[in-house]
Amino acid sequence: LSAQATPTELSFEGALRPGSLDEFVGQAKVRKQLRLLLDAATIQQRSPDHILLAGPPGLGKTTLSMIVAAELEKPLHQTSGPAIQHAGDLAAVLSALTPGEVLFIDEIHRMARSAEEMLYLAMEDFRIDIMVGKGAGATSIPLELAPFTLVGATTRAGLLPNPLRDRFGFTAHLEFYADDELADVVRRAARLLDFEIAPDGIGEISRRSRGTPRIANRLLRRVRDYCLVHGTPGDTESVHAALHLYDVDEQGLDRLDREVLYAVVERFGGGPVGLSTLAVSVGEEAETIESVVEPFLVRSGLLTRTPRGRMATRRAWEATGIPMPDAL
């Protein structure tokens, strides 16, 4: 149950996405900041500054990009860093934008380096230089672009090169959601799915959703499946049974979270252990550990980041049930 969306899930997500800033649950600070940015641009009848959305997967970055376009009443063009492998890929996207359009680039830190420089100029001056020919005969042809607003999303703002980060007028750091905010997400989704669920069932799902709306919506759908198949009501008992079946533990830790936690505690004696060593030992990419797993373990008070590496906290030892050596 990772925080990344599966393909079939995307269609469900479409139906559950809030359509306006007012409908968007939680992230009160970010909502206020965005509201001001959008309102000021509307008053001056110009495109708002470029916006960078940073935070772990499933917290609402794509949703917010759609909301920005909807609030501005402008079309949205969506693409992603991995889809931009050459400067030419980006030139094709940029030259097709209409005035005021919102361009969403997900995982912007994974864009090709050659495209990055083109993007700098496009963000700043709304123009690009297209290179024609090769070697000594190569020339660049300037191309004017329609003014647009770039909304970039990244799992960590620190992954972006400084010149790119500096060209965003506003960076929103999305935080994990509090349990009562997730309860609002679940309540809203249950209503849209026409599924009756008791308040304590909602509470139980919220507590186990890893602070992440995508996971809350997903667990809700598994509970709904369970009730449908077993003919049980949407109460705490059904929630417990369904979540037990899908290996979601009491704290909402998923398989990878637990693997990382056990690796630090058991294999590395509580740490400190370096990120890359840890990543190799659980067979995952360091970037995934750093931007998906670690932020939640740190927030849950299970892991700390020290200059010498990652360390398990006393709570982590307790959570794994492995006795903590006296020397620690």
165 is catalytic: no
**Residues within window 131-170 making contact with ligand ADP, judged by CB under 6 A:** 153
For ligand ADP, the nearest residue by Cβ is: 60
The sign of the torsion formed by the CA atoms of 276, 277, 278, 281 equals: positive
Candidates 109, 208, 210, 214: give the one binding ligand ADP (CB under 6 A). Answer: 214
Sequence-ordered strand ranges (E) for the chain = 51-54, 76-80, 102-106, 127-132, 139-144, 149-154, 170-173, 303-306, 309-312
Q: Are 270 and 311 in contact (CB under 8 A)?
A: yes
Residue 58 is a binding residue for ligand ADP (CB under 6 A):
yes
Q: Which of 208, 210, 214, 218 is catalytic?
A: 214
Q: Are 183 and 211 in contact (CB under 8 A)?
A: no
Q: Are 324 and 311 in contact (CB under 8 A)?
A: no
Which residues fall in the annotated binding site? 16-17, 58, 61-63, 124-126, 167, 177, 214, 305, 310
62 is catalytic: yes
Nearest by Cα to 184 from 172, 167, 202, 207: 202
Candidates 1, 21, 52, 61: give the one binding ligand ADP (CB under 6 A). Answer: 61
Question: Which residues does 205 contact at the CB level (< 8 Å), separation at least 6?
Answer: 182, 186, 216, 219, 220, 223, 239, 243
106 is catalytic: yes
Residue 201 is a binding residue for ligand ADP (CB under 6 A):
no
Residue 163 class from Cβ within 10 Å (0-12 exposed, 13-18 middle, 19+ buried)? exposed
State the nearest-atom distance from the C-beta of 303 to ligand ADP, in Å: 22
State the nearest-atom distance from the C-beta of 222 to ligand ADP, in Å: 15
Got the DSSP string for 134-159?
-GGG-EEEEEE----EEEEEES-GGG
* Between 59 and 261, CB nearer to ligand ADP: 59
Residue 1 is a binding residue for ligand ADP (CB under 6 A):
no
Residue 218 is a binding residue for ligand ADP (CB under 6 A):
no
State the nearest-atom distance from the C-beta of 144 to ligand ADP, in Å: 31
Instruction: Show the binding pattern over residues 286-305: x = contacts ligand ADP (CB under 6 A), - = does not.
Output: --------------------
Determine the Cα–Cα distance for residues 68 and 152; give it in Å rounded to an integer: 12
Binding interface with ligand ADP (CB under 6 A): 13, 16-18, 24-26, 57-63, 153, 185, 213-214, 217
Q: Which residues are catalytic?
A: 61-62, 106, 155, 214
